[in-house]
Every structure is written in structure tokens, then in C-alpha cells.
Amino acid sequence: MDNESRRTFVEKERSVVAGTSAEPGVLASWLFLGDSIAQPLPGRVSPHTYGGDILFRTQVTLYAELPAGPADTSAVDVEYTFAPPESHEESEPAHNGVLKGLQPVAGIILQPPGGEDSTSYEISSGHARPAVSLFVPLPTQRLPLRPFTFSMTLRQGSRTFTLSRPVRMVWPEMPLSLRNVDFALDALRFLASESQLDSLRDGDFDTRVRNLERFWDARDLRPETPTNEAMVQYYRRVDHAVTTFATLRQPDGLRSDRARIYVLYGPPTRTERSLDPQSGFREIWIYERLNRRFTFVDRTRSGTYTLESTSP
């Protein structure tokens, strides 16, 4: 939940992933791939098209090249860490992992399969190259929406390779109402009491972000999935309410009665409207699944509706 999620895209990645280094102890090259790697090779893979960033709630595979050595196809052990940058609070946890016995592959290159609009690479084998390739699956689908310093150590026999670089989780389709943590917290007024909201708003920026995440973690109906569907649905509704129910008298559409009902229950099954120039305007929202009807009236004919009655 950043103030603004940075969007970074790579429109085309046409160059062959190659380029090796004779310097010992350094990865020759690396690339995030957006899909799992089918065995046996060769096959086809797609680049993760967010530059050096990772799409929020997705898993990526790291493609790395190691300079060839005496035991260039022996198994590799990997240790990795996604740590918060030094500018963040020390209480922000790091995300660590260990992968044992990954098998490198010799003599392959990644190349476009043909066609200028292709967004995938063919894995081509049987090439004489001074490097071996390694595919490292990373469980990034569980990482929070944060910047990180990604560090990785690979050990292959007596050889050690290291990598460290900044990486950021990005969410281009994030609901607008989630891009500002203070607005996102304020939008919880339909679910939380005023004292709860005060507690959630307390603390610096990073603390408020964690408060918001913990609030929704406790309400995740499907914690086994990477995405908190309840949270996303709620803020999609907030986005709709902010603009749809705004009027000249009430420019903040989220503070209207219709917004409260829409955010809590979603769009009605059907709506009945009457436009009486004498008594004012009327809307009846009917939720068949819930067996409920909400009646809103606009007696001033200004577009500002208030909840008149609820039934049954």
C-alpha cells in the first residue's frame, strides 16, 4: 500500500539472454521469468515484464548464468533474502529461504522464437558456451507490497556466487483508494469503530501500512491464496462509490448513504427509480439474495440521496 505504486514496464525484451563474465564469484547474468520452467528442457519461457520489479502476488523464477567451471553441472544450493531497505524500520521482517540441490543446465541459450511481437523465449540447447544456466523458483507471491534488497548466495562445490540488488513489488491494478494509506484507513469507517480507526491511524507511515495489512489479514476468507479477495473487493467498491455518488453538495461520494450500502453489500440486483418533481427523487435498491430493500430519497433534487428506510 504505497502512496503511489511505481509502474515499470519492459515493452519488448528482444535480446538473447547471454553475456558471461570470467570474473570468479560473480553471476554472469540474470533475469526474472514470469512462469515456471517445464522439464525436460528445451521449452519456452516468458520474461517477467516489469523490469527489475516483481508483480505483486505472483511467483517468479530467476534465470541466472554461472561461469563454467570444473564441476559446472553439479548441484547448486541457494540461500536468498528479501530484506527491507536500510531506510525502513528495523522491525520490518526479512523474508528468507533456502533451496537445496538445484540442477544447472549446460549449453543452452534463450532466444526469441521468431516474430517481432513475441513476448517469450525459446530455450535452445546444444550450444557450446562458457557458462551454465540455473532456474531458481522464488516464492514471491507472498511478499508484501514493499521495496526490498534482494540478496542471493549460490554454492556449487567450492565455488560461491553472490547477487544483491534493490527490487520492488508493484501492483499496477491496485485500487486507487489503496494507493494512499490514510485514505484506505479512513475508508474502513463502514467496518471499524471510531476507536479502532484511531488505533489504526496511530504511528508513522510504515506502522500505519502494517496496521492496514493486519486488519485485512484477519478478514481474509481464503488465506491459502496469495490475494486477499475480500480486501480487493472492498476497495474496488470504494473506488466506485467515491466518484459515482459525489455531488456538488457532497463532493466526497464515500460519505453518502448510498456509498455505505454499496461498499458493504455491492451493486444491487436491480434498482427502481421515480422522479417526482413535487416530492423529490427516489431510488429503491433491491438485493434479492439478501432479501433486503434500501430506499433512498433526494427531496432537494440535488443528487444527494439519504437513506429513508430499510426492509425487511
DSSP H/E element including 248: none
pLDDT at 277: 77
pLDDT at 31: 82
For residue 199, give the nearest of 210, 31, 190 by alpha carbon.
Answer: 210
For residue 114, which amino acid is it? G
Beta bridge partners of 77: 155
Is the Cβ–Cβ distance between 31 and 47 less than 8 Å? yes
Q: Report residue 244 as a C-alpha cell.
A: 459515482
Residues whose CB is less than 8 angstroms from the CB of residue 50 and which lie 6 or more positions away in sequence, other chains included: 8, 9, 10, 32, 170
Q: Report residue 152 as a C-alpha cell.
A: 542471493
At which residue does the C-alpha cell 534493490 appear?
A: 166
Kindly report the length of the chain. Answer: 312
pLDDT at 50: 82
pLDDT at 113: 64
Is residue 40 reached through a cis peptide bond, with omega within 30 degrees of 0 on the bond before it? yes
Report the alpha-carbon distance of residue 200 to residue 210 in Å, rounded: 9
- Could you say which residues of the chain have pLDDT below 70? 1-29, 35-42, 70-71, 87-92, 113-118
In order of 86, 91, 300, the CA distances from 94 in angstroms are 12, 9, 56
pLDDT at 276: 82
In order of 33, 48, 126, 144, 170, the CA distances from 123 in angstroms are 12, 16, 10, 32, 27
115 HSE (CA, 13 A, CB side)? 7
| Rg (alpha carbons) of the chain, rounded to whole number | 26
pLDDT at 2: 44
Residue 51, sorted as left (phi over 0), alpha (psi -120 to 50) or beta, turns out to be: left
Show the domains of the chain with their CATH numbers: 29-170 (2.20.130), 176-311 (no CATH)
Whole-prediction pTM: 0.78
* 281 three-class SS: strand
Angle (CA) 75-80-84 rounded to 5° is 175
pLDDT at 98: 97
Is the Cβ–Cβ distance between 207 and 232 less than 8 Å? no
pLDDT at 15: 33
The CB density around residue 16, as the number of other CB atoms within 10 Å, is: 12
**Backbone phi and psi for residue 102, each to the nearest 5 degrees, phi listed first:** -70, 140
41 HSE (CA, 13 A, CB side)? 20
Report the alpha-carbon distance of residue 83 to residue 66 in Å, rounded: 24
Report the alpha-carbon distance of residue 72 to residue 214 in Å, rounded: 45
Q: Report residue 131 as a C-alpha cell.
A: 557458462
pLDDT at 171: 94
